[in-house]
Structure 1
């Protein structure tokens, strides 16, 4: 089928076609084709994604897929990320609404990741030009800032494209083409919610377009609003109760593979709101009636239930997100051959994350992990004003200072839940000129400015110094504050009293007074800013004619500046508000680039495309990228194509300039778990060499971890100003088959891809650091800190810090095959359409350091070997029906995680396949009004159970929430009205 359109001079207006040229240009088309859309139209000159050359016979030698506005409408998606993730070419996103609740920043942002190579290697464009990042320090674009209802189509090119578009296009390009030729007025509204009554959503939009009376000017405006509600862990049975994988507690010599599916449920946190106290050899807590008791249990305590805290009762699965969107574009014809154009976008989004109150303990306050409960005041020893007699009498002097002390751990429920309200604003303006130099040469020049800023306020945190001052309180028998009262609790520190220090009572439920809460509470504030400026220009035209045709050429330049700043308040930067210590990050760079591209007809049916791009970065110096492609029209029905490309990616600002920033990794396996006092191999000997581990073994018989140990691992990530660019080499080979005479309306494409990245910028995985340290390479042990022998019960020797940094020490690669099939025909009284997209992932790997074995991720959770999306549609008169099936094949758990268990070989434990069904039906009650309704996850398919403690689990969801649907069945209804 042909779908060709007249073009004006608008740069990149036809950067790809919605439907294959001669039925063969694209690897995929939208489902929503109708016979009317097959109308043949005249062609002047067009561009396709991956090329800036305008040609009447442009063909792409690289795989390209297109999602058009009709496909967006039929999905019911409020955020374009949800629809794109159904395409098997995309991997699990680094950040989405359902996997970012625990992020210290950027929670609720929506990113995309082609080929499982990372969002930083996927270049996102709008109308063929770069878009400002939504995440400080990175190049990742927040799709929340792109209005779905204003998108004409999305063009997806996989494989290296740096030679045409510059850095970050190592895995490919996602180009959002916005509507620009609409005239009239369109309203749209949609309402929806999940089967469970949450995830309530609504969206409204208004779009208008008009032309000037002389026909020289045209402008469009779009206003949109959307609101997606929260989903809480407590409202899904699988995640309502805190739990952990049973395998984590099996002896390493007896654990069985099947045990990974057995959950200890409940397995509540050992940081309870009422407090847990170690005094001498006795552990105390409070029962549910606030009575002091001996002993403590996280997974059962007679008829009263566990003493610990159910964190999943507070956690969030889906972050509520509210968006206001404005978009506009237009052009004005200055002369017959020259025009001015502009594009403007403004997006304002608000997200609210919520998680459990902060887990606070003695070692967050005192370096020795012990809280003094006796104080020398005017030559007399006074006890803590609130310590119960039983705890005081059991306490001893464990740090040798002559005063009794205790260890405590307490969930700060008195302070309130943790969470963050983030307000993000993205502004982007592009202006430029375009036109014809003569009948065969064209130009465009442009200036782009973009800025994203975020203001975030986090709650539920405390000032550690103030908390310590409040803890050190006694009964004021000496009237230290000169108020005449000698039976009140008072802070010992006179300076602290001058700042309204209020005594802190940590013993029991709801023990803190309001004045104490006010004194220690310390909300955290974050301010970020990302700015981008671009100046560029392109010329394209016919160079000269060969026997097989005219050589087309394009050349251009681009100058780009990037700046990013991310700054928490002073307490957060120093880690003095009981949260992560995250220093400020600030940096900038600029780059000047030049490129040349040529389209060379070698034979009547064979065309070669070649491009080279030279870049000069202020950070890494000179880089170069290139690509060479061949397109061979074997017959009218069969085309062969191949591309060889070299792409580069310069390090981003975070990778270059980030100071040590604290994080709390999950899904780690401690190699020392289960090690006894004797026996075992070299790893066991290395474990016992640590004093804390040896103490733990002496206490428990074998090295044992408790709940707080498993959840209490921290570490620092570091940038590296010595980084250089990474280089990606990609090969794609494809077949395009359009048997028009045999089966009219059928298009089949098969594309093989192979991408290998050398000198990849990677952070050394923490599990890899552990395995190397206890596998004989002691240099890695310098990144590991274990808790001392003086730590609280069973915590001695547990992992406290594992640090990691970025370097050009890694390698990344992926290899696979894409199959797409589209077919449209008339059946009965209506028209039928179908599209199948399937990806077989042959290989996918990362190499943490040169010379070490590949860490294969192909076939693991988030990168299944088999992924597919199959759409079926039928239109009859005013009724249209669409059915979409998204298949994710079975997957294994991360082999690095399983390596921690002797009897569980890689590939033996994982999850089964999942298929989601989405449907939509629409009806035009008139030419101007359309009603539609639909359901996503129609059969309420539960996501695979990936329990906390297993690599890949998203905290609070008990599954991999970036890969699988953690919400369940949702319904929606809406209308569109066009005038």
Structure 2
């Protein structure tokens, strides 16, 4: 869908909304229109070309000049400033701790989920960058090749198909470009990290008649890492702990700092009456995780190894062209290739004895029966051997340990992602009817290599050592010795020998692939002439096939590397869809109706997975005068389940949950107490401690499995929008001003959701729905490092049992005019979110998340968000600023309820960020620019581990708040 360059000022101002207006675009919009300049165009939300660029749905536009004024190397960086955007599931600053997807960047309209935001390129789907999902990786779209981005907020499945429940992000690539431009940029933060390098080369040529053209672009970007240890607020492990349930709410939760891990490089060793560790000299010392007035901390600071921002390097190539056979028919093509390299890094692996001996709960034999004789493991030190006994009933002494595998090194992964897409087709006009037919093929392939894991079976063999008759020690198992087994010593700092390390180390791998095949055709034109204008229609047919596979190495698949068990995921589906759209003009140049039109669309789909689906929308445009326009839509959109939701086998995760049984005693009478005491493990814990008590390892050691569901059906979204556009050109004082206001409401029925783990726990132990107890597994007895009753597995599964919805209002205001010796432009966009809710079951109450920071939505959702852009151009000099406002949010009310605290009683204040860019035209073809992001170095709010919305390693919510700080960049643009 392409908009002709000769749009009039009034038309472009009607569409403009949501982003910075640069002086260049403001000047262009003031050019007077001539009758010949008005051509038929298409905008996002309709496949019908019309003599204006209006949309009955709220439409916001970002131009190429806006992208340049931001200095962004990735489109996500700029889109996230728009108040209609929610927090993305994946970005540079929230993906370091993931087993895959590190550095991927996605977008999320209305905070309804990345999968409910449809990303298009030139009106056609783009291959996903997330295995098993439909979310597009914005790393694969070169910013310098973009002419504009159109955001349509509201259901658009009738026009574009599945996934457009929240709206559409349509990226329009440049066309008819002549010459060459070079854009080079470098920068870093004022702490010396987050380095940025960018080089973009764009070339194009157009035929003499203007009907044929070709363009190519090469881009290179490299963004450096930001480590947790280099920011004071994230440099030390910490945990938010409740210290009071009464009094001032702001004092109820305070961070415990340090809150070191109990998995330390020197090891922690458990005997019959306690535990101990070693100092740097190999001396036995008492264990003290976080230290005390008389003891130094013996725990481990994981933040020394974690990253706030993932280093990302990208190579991008894009090309497009149009070859005209004659005035009416042409062929076109679009090609994109991107290669992205990212690295993630977290602390060395925390190994516990139960990872190696799950059948015995982690009880490791310190002696063995060999040929009928009792043989002691010579590696086990006397201090431990003399303090242990037979704990599992096999007649052999047992011990338990935890240890950070520092000799193995940090858990590091290098991922290389390649995305290829080619679209080609024919388009033209036959007797005033426009046609287009196209085919498209896209593939994303990712290869990930990781370090820091061990082979559990080899580690077990290496732990079981006996004296070697020839001297020294050897592995007990003869077959293991043949395979190179070397006994391993885990007692103390750096005690593992290089030979033993080589035997137990197990590098990991993960291969992902996503394939998308598209074919489609459409015709559009004027069916008949009506008194108010032509009745225009569009008809089309599309075929789409999606296929995805994700395969880890064999040890990872089986969970034998002591980490997440990730079985292979594979799935595919196809869909055939037909659609029709009509624009019906009712009135024109009538009293109180300068123009009145209806727009309607219908799409029928047939999926190989969920069967038949139907989507529709209906909208109106009514202009009582030239200065006022009213618009509205009603739509029903569908989203078919993606491959992960349908076909994902149980995959292991390590979630953070709050155990509702904490504090329960033998006689307490709280909401959860009766059901908690019914669990034998919980009751054993109460009998030992007087109340149900969890240790730090219990809190940090929860695991669980995520499951797909092949019986899912499509979810249905119902959306409504009503808005007004004011362009008071008849009032001279306001002739350069544009204002829009749009009300939106989106409700999703049968939403595809993973039942929240915390909800499952509450339903189980409150007795409201005991069926949810099947998702919870607890340790039955006290075992080594684990308390009886502690949660071992908290599982979740996907179903259509949920519901989601949001409601609010968008406002925008734009103005541009000459001020003094130069030209000034201003633009403001503001969104008020009245409600944002979800519910895990149809019978459950709605959980309100607007104005909260919540794990349910994965981030903070302020009720008030805004962006203000100002620009001034004076001769060769220019300055632009972007001010972003994120309103106040409270901690999730469901989280506070666990501590008997009222909703909204603990809040996080608003944050304002300011970005600036200064430009100087050295000469007509050369421009220098200097930018400052987060100019006033606003610190992120402390959202500490243990609080909802925390992103691991950042001690804040890095999806919403800036965790990096002030940073600078300098660049030059040259046109040849």
Q: How far off its partner does 1:798 sit?
A: 1.1
Q: 1:242 aligns with which of 215, 237, 244?
A: 237
Displacement of 1:396 in angstroms is 1.2
Contact 2:810/2:831 (CA < 8 Å) preserved in 1?
A: yes
Q: Which moved more, 1:684-693 or 1:654-663?
A: 684-693
- Preserved contact between residue 337 and residue 421 of structure 2 (Cα < 8 Å): yes
Q: Which residue of 2 aligns with 1:371?
A: 364
User: 2:336 matched to 1:345?
Assistant: yes
SS in 1 for 2:65: helix
Q: Equivalents in 1 of 2:10, 2:129: separation in Å?
A: 33
Q: 1:577 aligns with which of 549, 557, 561?
A: 561
Aligned with residue 841 of structure 1, among 833, 837, 845: 833
State the match for 1:272 in structure 2.
Answer: 264
Q: Distance in 1 between matches of 2:664 and 2:761?
A: 15
**2: CA distance, partners of 1:704 / 1:326:** 57
- Residues 22-41 of structure 1: matches in 2 within 5 Å? 23-28=13-18, 30-32=20-22, 33-39=25-31, 40=33
Find runs of 4+ consecutive structure 1 residues off by over 6 angstroms.
15-19, 253-256
User: Deviations along 1:7-43, whole A, 9 cap, x unmatched?
Assistant: xxxx545599797617424444641123244222501
Q: CA offsets per residue over residues 146-174 of structure 1, 9 Å max, x none?
A: 01111111100000000000000000000
| Deviation for aligned residue 1:823 | 0.6
Displacement after TM superposition at 1:638 (Å): 0.6
Measure the CA separation in 1 of the matches of 2:339 and 2:435. 34
Match of 1:896 in 2: 894
What is the CA-CA distance between 1:738 and the residue it aligns to?
1.1
Q: Which residue of 1 aligns with 2:856?
A: none
Could you tell me how far 1:626 is from its partner in structure 2? Answer: 0.4
**1:446, 1:536 within 8 Å by CA — same for their partners in 2?**
yes
Distance 1:346 1:18, change over 3 A: farther
Residue 677 in 1 paired to residue 666 in 2?
Answer: yes
1:794–1:621 Cα change, 3 Å: closer
Unaligned runs of 5+ in 1: 1-10, 480-484
Match of 1:382 in 2: 375
Q: Which residue of 2 aligns with 1:734?
A: 723
1:867 aligns with 865
Report what 1:333 is aligned to: 324
Match of 1:396 among 386, 389, 402: 389
Confirm or deny that 1:663 pairs with 2:653. Answer: yes
1:386 Cα deviation from its structure 2 partner: 1.5
What is the CA distance between 1:720 and its match in structure 2?
A: 0.6
Against the structure 1 CA distance between its residues 398 and 259, is the aligned structure 2 distance closer, same or farther, given a 3 Å change threshold?
A: farther
Task: Return closer, same or farther for 1:449/1:794 CA change in 2, 3 Å cut-off.
Answer: closer
Is 1:956 the counterpart of 2:946 in the alignment?
no
Say if 1:18 and 1:30, in contact at 8 Å, map to a contact too: no
In 2, the alpha carbon distance for the partners of 1:527 and 1:255 equals 53
Q: Distance in 1 between matches of 2:295 and 2:225?
A: 31
Taking a change above 3 Å as real, the CA distance of residues 380 and 29 of structure 1, as seen in their structure-2 partners, is closer
Residue from 113, 122, 129 that aligns with 1:127:
122
2:975 to 965, 975, 978: 978
Given the alignment of the two structures, is residue 225 of structure 1 paired with residue 217 of structure 2, yes or no? no
Secondary structure of the residue that 1:34 maps to in structure 2?
A: helix
- Given candidates 402, 408, 413, the residue that maps to 2:406 is 413
> CA offset at residue 952 of structure 1?
0.6
Tell whether 2:313 aligns with 1:315.
no
Q: Is the 8 A contact 2:3 2:43 kept in 1?
A: no
Equivalent residue for 1:8?
Answer: none
Whole-angstrom distance in 2 between the partners of 1:326 and 1:542 = 39
Q: Partners of 2:807 and 2:376 in 1: how far apart?
A: 67
Is 1:488 the counterpart of 2:472? The answer is: yes
Larger CA deviation: 696-705 vs 20-29: 20-29
Summarize the alignment of residues 87-236 of structure 1 with structure 2, pairs less than 5 Å apart. 87-212=82-207, 216-236=211-231
Q: Which residue of 1 aligns with 2:857?
A: none
Shift in Å at residue 603 of structure 1? 1.4
Q: Which residue of 2 aligns with 1:786?
A: 778
Matches within 5 A, 1:680-691: 680-691=669-680
Q: CA deviation at 1:215?
A: 5.3
* From 217, 230, 255, the counterpart of 1:263: 255
Question: Which of 74, 79, 82 is matched with 1:84 structurally?
Answer: 79
Seen in structure 2, the aligned counterparts of structure 1 residues 29 and 738 have a Cα distance that, compared at 3 Å, is farther
Report the counterpart of residue 644 of structure 2 in structure 1: 654
Aligned with 2:793 (options 798, 801, 807): 801
Matches of 2:230 and 2:907, distance apart in 1: 25
Give the Cα–Cα distance (whole angstroms) in 1 for the partners of residues 5 and 896 of structure 2. Answer: 46
* Aligned counterpart, 2:813: 821
Report the Cα distance in structure 2 between the residues aligned to 1:276 and 1:974, rounded to whole angstroms.
53
Whether the 8 Å CA contact 2:9–2:29 is kept in 1: the answer is no
1:967 pairs with one of 961, 964, 970: 964
Mean CA deviation greater in 133-142 or 359-368: 359-368
Q: Deviation of residue 695 (structure 1)?
A: 2.5
Deviation readout 1:641-662 (Å, 9 max, x if unpaired): 0100000000001100111111
Matched residue SS, 1:468: helix
Do the aligned partners of 2:211 and 2:327 also contact (CA within 8 Å) in 1? Answer: no
> Partners in 1 of 2:690 and 2:4 — Cα distance?
70
Q: Spell out, residue by residue over 1:81-110, the C-alpha distance to the aligned partner (whole angstroms, 9 max, x if none).
A: 010000000000000000011111111100
Specify the SS of the correspondent of 1:116.
coil
- Aligned mates of 2:749, 2:451 — CA distance in 1: 42
- The offset of 1:212, in angstroms, is 4.3
CA distance in 1, matches of 2:283, 2:177: 70
Which residue number in structure 2 is paired with residue 638 of structure 1?
Answer: 628
C-alpha distance in 2 between matches for 1:233 and 1:498: 43
Structure 2 unaligned regions, length at least 5: 589-594, 854-859
Q: Determine the C-alpha separation between the residues in 1 that align with 2:766 and 2:248.
A: 22
Separation in 1, partners of 2:54, 2:831: 23
Match of 1:919 among 916, 931, 945: 916
1:823-849: CA deviation from partner (whole Å, max 9, x where unpaired)? 101100001101100000000100100
CA contact (8 A) 2:12 2:29 kept: no
1:406 positional shift = 0.8
SS at match of 1:220: strand
Tell me if structure 1 keeps the 8 A contact 2:6–2:38: no
User: What's the counterpart of residue 457 of structure 1?
Assistant: 449
Aligned pair in 2 of structure 1 residues 244, 611: CA closer, same or farther (>3 Å)? same
Report how far residue 676 of structure 1 moved.
Answer: 2.2
Partner of 2:353: 362
Deviations 1:517-539 (A, max 9, x none): 11111111000100001011111
How far 1:496 sits from its partner (Å)? 0.5
3-state SS of paired residue (2:462)? helix
Structure 1 residue 712, shift from structure 2 partner: 1.3
Q: Decide whether the 8 Å contact of 2:7 with 2:38 is kept in 1.
A: no
Q: Secondary structure at the match of 2:549?
A: strand
Structure 1 contact 893–909 (Cα < 8 Å) conserved = yes
Q: TM-score, normalised by structure 2?
A: 0.96
> Distance between the aligned counterparts of 2:419 and 2:408, measured in 1?
33
2:552 corresponds in structure 1 to 568
How far apart, CA to CA, are the structure 2 residues paired with 1:96 and 1:20?
37
Which residue is 2:592 aligned to?
Answer: none
Structure 2 match to 1:699:
688
Alignment partners' CA distance in 1, 2:7 and 2:947: 44
Q: Is the 8 A contact 1:18 1:68 kept in 2?
A: no
1:810 corresponds to: 802
Between the aligned partners of 2:17 and 2:635, the Cα distance in structure 1 is 19
Note if contact 2:363-2:399 (Cα within 8 Å) is conserved in structure 1: yes
| Secondary structure in structure 2 of the residue aligned to 1:24 | helix
Mapped to 2, the partners of 1:592 and 1:17 lie a distance apart of: 35
Q: TM-score, normalised to structure 1's length?
A: 0.96
Corresponding residue number in structure 1 for 2:699: 710
Q: How many residues are treated as equivalent by the alignment?
A: 954
Identify which of 489, 499, 506 aligns with 1:505. Answer: 489
Is 2:288–2:295's contact at 8 Å kept on the other side of the alignment?
no
